[in-house]
């Protein structure tokens, strides 16, 4: 039996084939066996690839969640700093507005005092200013 092949119906090695149909059947069986083995290997590779893809997907999701958490933390820090800057700017703006309002009030009061003390001079200045403005707007 040392000279017999692995498929039934094969003639011993070195002897010419006696039955062509038996050789064809042996070849068909070998092709079917090869096809079955290839399908089994393809299924095995597909399963391994799907497993690896799932592992990579899980790792990618974990990294994405980690980066999202870090980005949210940084955004919170920047939001807090922006709020601080906003509050500082608002306080300064209110302070400057109060100072400007006080200056305007002081200038108004000084102007009223000047007009009361020098009514003729104030009237001449107002008339001169009106005349100059009239000349400027006339052209």
Per-residue pLDDT of the chain (139 residues; tens, 9 = 90+): 444 455 555 555 555 556 888 898 899 999 999 999 999 999 999 999 999 999 999 999 999 999 999 999 999 999 999 999 999 999 999 999 999 999 999 999 988 888 888 888 888 988 999 999 999 998 7
Residue boundaries of the structural domains of the chain: 20-138
Distances (CA, A) of 4 to 1, 7, 12, 20: 5, 8, 5, 17
CB of 41 within 8 A of CB of 28?
no
Alpha-carbon dihedral 88, 89, 90, 92, rounded to 10 degrees: 90
Q: For the whole prediction, is pTM greater than 0.85?
A: no
Structure tokens at 62: 């974990």
């Amino acid at each position: 039996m040392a000279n017999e092949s692995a498929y039934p119906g094969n003639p011993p090695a070195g002897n010419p084939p006696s039955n062509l149909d038996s050789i064809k059947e042996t070849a068909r069986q070998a092709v079917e066996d090869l096809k079955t083995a290839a399908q089994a290997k393809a299924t095995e590779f597909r399963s391994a690839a799907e497993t690896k893809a799932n592992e990579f997907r899980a790792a990618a999701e974990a990294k994405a969640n980690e980066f999202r958490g870090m980005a949210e933390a940084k955004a919170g820090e920047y939001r807090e700093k922006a709020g601080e800057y906003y509050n500082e700017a608002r306080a300064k703006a209110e302070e400057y507005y109060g100072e400007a309002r006080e200056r305007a009030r002081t200038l108004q009061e000084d102007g009223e005092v000047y007009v009361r003390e020098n009514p003729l001079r104030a009237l001449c200045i107002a008339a001169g200013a009106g005349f100059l403005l009239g000349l400027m707007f006339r052209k």
